[in-house]
Structure 1
């Protein structure tokens, strides 16, 4: 706003008053006393601020200011300066009655008396809120551009005249150093020598704007890629007076783009790629895709994606939704079953990627795919094996803190809980209190968290404190970086086996004791059989001697029997002689009787002879009887001796058999002792093995 001498106009002549009237009509004007109290305000000021004269007159100037500013030292300084007669000019922010902020281009003009003392202050103002906002917007935009882009100015010869910090950082300049260089110094020397560069700069000098991607060089000589706009700054006559360049350093982006292009080319080489329009019609496909599906490009271009699908897959709502989602720009990925030209099934790992235009609308679909048929078959086989394991084994999963994630029915039946009862609970619920408090249990989970596999036989506690024994493996599951993420446990119930092993151990202990006793008994039997064998040998010797003695006795008895027979024959002869003598004596007596007295003596002798003969006969008969009895007894003795000799023979034979039997018993006892020792050893080892297994 052009400066107006308001003080002179107010105190001057009629011409000056006309000037003041013109000012009053053209500008917002308000008067204050030296303390800042409002004395009057013109219509323009009242309309600008939204007040009536009655609402303002008598109020202090601070009513029109922000409270923070009105309480500040700078505000007090303003009025102190005005009271001293110092004029104040500038742009000021004030607040309207409705709270809006307005910016005023204003001058505070002290009105003085003839002595130079300040009487009042007249403020002349113009609303510059819109210009202020526009200037702030322009300044903000310029600041934003300078903060976001590298900016450099050149004179028409190409010498750098100014640059911001981003430009210096991009090129490697120290502050002020850039003014020693020209645009040519920022370009490849070979490019500077070309007609292309001469034409480029000539276009700029003529005022033409140029934008694009440019390869430039830093102070160190390194290549720098920029996305830049060159524009001429014109003078008041419309002629270019300097060139300004706004640029983004896209070196990294260019590198990424080159890398991305390389990756895309690598993907093209490594993967099957096909493009579709939004309706699913084939636009193009690479050789990998054509080889995978068995087609030529002419056979599929313009045809719908459904030619690669099973009939059942394209008839459902899911297939229609699939293409509708892609048409809306939604990404789809997964494993898909597709059909080759020859009808064979292939499985692909594929992503369907909507390609957007600059407005973010999808324009086509690009599909990247890899043949995973073999992997799918192996995966199905693996899944079948895992399912088989799940059906045959008790399976449970834990997180690394030991909390249950899930478990299969086999595990739940084994342990006796429902899934709802154990999910989120700690593994320790299945263990005995003593084991939970042990260092072994702490080490057990530390090793699992370190990714170490663990297997063995474990004692666990089921529902209602039921003792359970399991043969189990704890298997850490790793993520792609090799870090464990959870623990899977496979187990089977061996409680009955452990109970049987316990019973076997107890029985083995008992058998061990019995076997020890048996060994002791066998040792005693062996000692007894050795003694019996010795006695048997002695008995055999005695029996053989008895048999020999009996043989001699029988021979003597047989001799006695023969002698007795001879004596019996003699006695018989004596008996016959006695009989004949008796007969002769009898006849003699008869003859003596006939002889009378002459035969008395002979008769006596004959009687005596007769008596002697009778006694001899009686004695002979007694001897004969005794000899007969003796013969009978000798015969019986002979028979008994023969029987005794036979018995002794049998005894000798029996003793020989007994001896052989005892020797056999001794050998068997020795073998039995060895076998018993082996059995005791086997039982001990079985018991030890069972204890180790437990």
Structure 2
């Protein structure tokens, strides 16, 4: 039944039912005697109409429910769904549901396609609000993906260039090329250049340090002044410049295809801490997008920071090199000090000419220098506060003091007074004592003060406290002496591990000279194929962590010889805790290593040639070797787990001595003796046995190892041992007759001293027995840390060789040359320390006398030092005074221009004579700082290095001394 007819039928039926009921009621009222059958017929017809109406209503409701489910559940297959209804409302509702389902399916397919990256096009057939919304979604997603790709591109680029900036941060040229080349590649440009900012004569400029085009490295040699061209304009404005229409002749890129002009130029300033350190120029055939420009801006900041760091590192490295060079020239400080004294004398002369400035100058002197005035008799007239604090004088002491109370040496005091009374200024350094008997050093300048008649009125002394400098120089001299004279190798590297200095001990040990290895890492040439790789890795890791290192390692000498060293490397830091250098000390322990290997092989030989059995601490057998089984006659399985008493007789096993033996062994005592044992067959054997307790890390005995030999072998060993002991005693007796020796216990207390040592120092054994090594040092050296470190190293197994300073019974300094060696017992525990040395005090005195003679000669003869290429190296104050040069201006003087040799003598002839060890005497004319030429007789001598090669040339101006003497004789 069609749904429209049903609706009409329901209306007619409902109306018919209503008419039937009304008719039934009227008939009942009119015809009261009407037969009931008629009523029932009417009601039956009405009920049939009602039933059909309800049935169709339920059917229609079920159809509408199915259509509703079709609209809400997309999983329903609409191709198998059929609506049996002719109701146009229902059909329209069904068609709308189907249409919406198609739109939703289409939208779903598009969304999935968009998610997979496909592009959706909208046609007229599927143009609706939902389709347009999907298309809008697609457009937004494309924009989002593009933005994400650009952000990822920028982040990836910054990360990549961060790694590049860390990699190429040592050389500015390589840095410039790699950074600009990678930048051009990354932004798909065609050419790029990077410039570094500089300044010369107050004119700022940009210098090209890297250039790249068409995947080739271009020559980078170009300077651009500030304001010149686009790059110079970028430097002036400190802002980005981007041009998209480049003039034809601005730049051309050459490739295999010919010449092409890029149309887009981007110039970015490199700014670090608001300071422009450079610029980067990029050329491209295509437009640079905004995100690329933003990336380049961020990259420019990172490049600028790296450039600033590299410049700081290069400047720091340069300063370190210059500092090292200055520290090696020990005479630099002395010459600068003398120059300061000369300037002070000039200031004093100016003071005498200008009385108005005198008070101000003396006020400055009072605040900075030690000042005292003496009358012509040497009595102290006055002294400033710094002078009184220096000598710890009270004000009341001044009137009782004389010059002799300051200058304790009568000869030097007389020399000073004679020169000053003669009207000459005099500068001198000498040692004096404070009122508290403390030793101090002063550098004093004595100047005569004349009255208006030119007569000596008083003497003015200006001085400086140089106690600390003298102490430092003495300490440096001693350290230098130790480094130069010790057999140990000393290496000093920079913080990167590159060699800056090695001592003669290193050169003797390895065969390498400093000139061959300067700037290299020690491991590059000292280590070889047999060097332990794990030790190398451990040392490398500790160096990276800047920690001290103590290792033993196999090294290779220059001639290929291998040797073992005990290596100690310590980092050196500045006052701020920053790493500056590494100092490595190497001691040759090849002999010790050989001895250790020898001991190892001997132990293995003992195991092969001796009977060995192991027990627990209660005496039960743990293990036994074949030699012992051969002696005792048992099989190994028969002995394992049995007690040692199974191999002795009943009397011995029950004896008190036997029980005490195992009690002693259980306590960790070492026992050696001859013992009787019985074989399996009952035969008695006599064994020379050594019981060795073995300890765990806590020092507790865990087992006992017994080494056994028959009596014949033991007797043989005893005789050999007696012979060796006699030989050793003969050696020791010979040593005691020729070399001084001191024996210390493991705590550093003196136990013994031989007659050689006692006779030279004047001590008796009871005078020093029980005292420490530090008690033998001069008082000023007893608390220096190097001696404490030396004893700590001795206790850890290191030995020392070189020169040692002590005092004798009268407190005078004595010098010894030899070794201090730790001595160990059989268990490798430190037993004592032995010093064996020869006395070298007279040699040291001769060396000091020689140094004094050299100093005296520098005080009377002008001296000039030249390198072998005749460049000026150094000079003494007398030459500076005669020439008018200072130490700084001396470096700029050229020998070929400012010096003339007499009689056609040539430098190469002088070098030849000096190489042959001859002394050259000739006449030399030089030009002073004022332009005047001075002629003098000179004596030239060569100074050789340790390889007997000419190292420098010394020129003594003897003629100037003779002229001065003649002038004095005439006067």
TM-score exceeds 0.5: no
TM-score normalised by structure 1 residue count = 0.39
TM-score normalised by structure 2 residue count = 0.29
More helix by share: 1
